[in-house]
Homo-oligomer: A and B are copies of this chain.
């Protein structure tokens, strides 16, 4: 019997409830496919932070880097200012483990309600590959007062600024600024990942950028996309401005197969993607380092007001669990989980409120487990 050790961070709010269902389902599928999981619990999140002052230490991160995959619930708490926990735990892990791919299947399952007219599961079935370690997520920025910013922004000015003498230093009492950066290698590796993924799909890769305005950063992105694309003669590709792609997600989702996007735009368009596939209760995500430690999570937040109510939909988390075990090499078991989710939705009345049902979080986990066990 194969043995896996999987670190699990249930996190905040509804995190523990949904993670419990995810574990239940993975344990069940393990029984059927001959593997056994030892779950190693970590307490990180709001309570732990408020008690100890620790977000996540480098020691813990080092320890976690022994494992190929981490299972994460959700992070965030109203007692703590926005950003502290998200950056201190979630983004820190993404960066520390160099999880350069954020993988988000946008797949409308049969029987799920989508807000879009005239679209079925045949129309909404693509994957977003979001770059996950660069761009505007690098955390470089600051504030500057009148006269101060010159030192900070000693950079060449382009177009308007040069032409019309836009004077950042002296015009304003106070500015806030933020710097995004992408590297050639960082861009190349995520685009290559997207092409590899498309190899086993429809071989169509769509790039997202805003190179007509943020030309410096996304000019490099386009160059790399073109370079990788040139090495894949059998593939079709297209460039999309981020503003336009939000329209096509809503109007023509059937156009997409694999979409590769810089980090921040990826954050935006995958939430939109989650909505067209039926909402956050159904949207899983993986933070992947193919040669290191990956991390799987529902893409929704910690929904503090539902905490402890046994009410929210565990499907996103269960689906993220399927992605996790697929990453461990258990492809068949992973497919079995996704099929069981699909069967639960189509054949049973056990559904949470967001899907029009009245069942609890654990009822749904139990039902999916029952389907897997063939009871």
Q: Which A residues have a C-beta under 8 Å from some C-beta of B?
A: 58, 82-83, 86-88, 91-92, 95-96, 114-117, 136-143, 151-161, 163-164, 166, 168, 171-186, 210-221, 242-244, 246-247, 250-251, 264-265, 267-272, 274-276, 279-280
Give Cα A116–Cα B243 distance, bound, in whole angstroms.
18
- A243→B270 contact, CB < 8 A: yes
- A179→B153 contact, CB < 8 A: yes
- A216→B143 contact, CB < 8 A: yes
- B171→A215 contact, CB < 8 A: no
- A174→B164 contact, CB < 8 A: no
Contacts A141-B158, A153-B140, A175-B181; A211 near B246 (Cβ below 8 A): no
- A142→B275 contact, CB < 8 A: no
- A83→B213 contact, CB < 8 A: yes
Q: Which residues of B contact A272 (CB under 8 A)?
A: 243, 246-247, 250, 272
* Shortest beta-carbon contacts, A-B, top 3: A141-B216, A176-B220, A172-B183
- B91→A160 contact, CB < 8 A: yes
Q: How far is the CB of A176 from chain B (nearest CB, A)?
A: 3
Contacts A137-B213, A271-B247; A184 near B177 (Cβ below 8 A): no
Contacts A115-B251, A183-B171; A264 near B155 (Cβ below 8 A): no
Q: Which residues of B contact A215 (CB under 8 A)?
A: 83, 87, 141
Give Cα A106–Cα B271 distance, bound, in whole angstroms.
20
Give Cα A251–Cα B92 distance, bound, in whole angstroms.
31
The prevalent SS among residues of A at the interface is helix
- B153→A166 contact, CB < 8 A: no
Q: Which residues of B contact A178 (CB under 8 A)?
A: 179-181, 214, 216-218
Give Cα A185–Cα B183 distance, bound, in whole angstroms.
33
Q: Which residues of B contact A117 (CB under 8 A)?
A: 114-117
Q: List 7 A-B contacts (CB under 8 A).
A: A83-B213, A86-B213, A136-B180, A140-B155, A177-B217, A247-B271, A268-B268
Q: A58-B164, A136-B180, A243-B267 are in contact. List 13 more A-B contacts (CB 8 A).
A: A95-B164, A95-B166, A115-B251, A116-B116, A139-B160, A140-B156, A143-B220, A174-B183, A243-B268, A243-B270, A244-B271, A246-B272, A250-B250
- B218→A176 contact, CB < 8 A: yes
Q: How far is the CB of A278 from chain B (nearest CB, A)?
A: 10
Q: Which residues of B contact A176 (CB under 8 A)?
A: 181-182, 216-221
Give Cα A116–Cα B92 distance, bound, in whole angstroms.
37
Q: Which residues of B contact A185 (CB under 8 A)?
A: 171-173
Q: Which residues of B contact A210 (CB under 8 A)?
A: 264, 267
Q: Which residues of B contact A246 (CB under 8 A)?
A: 246, 268-269, 271-272, 275
Give Cα A95–Cα B179 distance, bound, in whole angstroms.
21
Give Cα A211–Cα B115 distance, bound, in whole angstroms.
28
Q: Which residues of B contact A168 (CB under 8 A)?
A: 138, 181
- B157→A154 contact, CB < 8 A: no
Q: Which residues of B contact A186 (CB under 8 A)?
A: 172
Q: Which residues of B contact A218 (CB under 8 A)?
A: 176, 178
Q: How far is the CB of A110 from chain B (nearest CB, A)?
A: 17
- B184→A136 contact, CB < 8 A: no
Give Cα A164–Cα B137 distance, bound, in whole angstroms.
14
